[in-house]
Amino acid sequence: MNFKKILGLILGLMVLTVIFGIAADSGNPFNLFLFFSGALFLLFAFRSRKKAAHSQEIPALSKKREAAYLASGMTAREIEVFRETLFQTKQQIDRLQKNIQDNAKLKAIDLRHDTLKAAKALFKELVKEPIRLHDASHFLYTHLPNMVDLTNKYIEINQHEVKSRETYEKMEESVQIIDQLAALITSDYQNFVSDDLVDLDVELSIAKQSLKRDNNYNQAKSHE
């Protein structure tokens, strides 16, 4: 619990103590009702805040997953940084998805670049290859956070009841930047899996050579 929450709880208890003192002195049932109502309110507020804070915590690390991380050569600190980073990234992707679903122009940008699909696919690749966290640094620390911040602001401004000419111009400029960021996120994913594509090209080339040899062999046999 942080300092602000502790201070709020203390102030709340002080207020309740004063109310209870007044109620006890006066013997007024209404004052007693106010006291107990306030106490219940504080209790439920504290429990709801605790639950909300808990929902924002990183899920517990399983022994199996921890063993896999250690086997890959990661230190305890690297595991901690990796899990914190991916937890934040997951929240950002969820927020970006909500923003895109809430606005037609953002939906069009996403359809044009497959931004969400690329972001989620890159997230899955990182889960499989935690030691490659640094290979996705542009996506994790620049492109995705900027995309979320800009779409948040765009959604907020778009909801204004009255918009000036300058507002529309800024919104249009924001859309252009968002479109560029969307393309960069897709590029981030393509760059991350580029080695896989190279491996696939090699395998395809080998398969083609094998098929060619088989075809030549079959043709030669047919002419015997």
Enumerate the domain spans of the chain: 3-55, 78-192, 194-224
- Give the model confidence (pLDDT) of 175-210 as tens digits: 999 999 999 999 999 999 987 555 555 455 556 666
Report the half-sphere exposure of 143 (CA within 13 A, side-chain side): 21
Predicted TM-score of the model (pTM): 0.65
Distance (Å, rounded) from C-alpha 135 to C-alpha 139? 9
Read off the pLDDT of residues 149-168 as tens digits, 9 standing for 90 and up: 999 999 999 998 889 999 99
> Is 157 buried (19+), middle (13-18) or exposed (0-12) by CB count in 10 A?
middle
Nearest Cα neighbor of 99 from 144, 148, 145, 141 is 148
The closest of 188, 109, 197 to 150, measured between CA atoms, is 109
Residue pLDDT, tens place only, 33-65 = 555 555 555 555 555 554 444 446 888 888 888
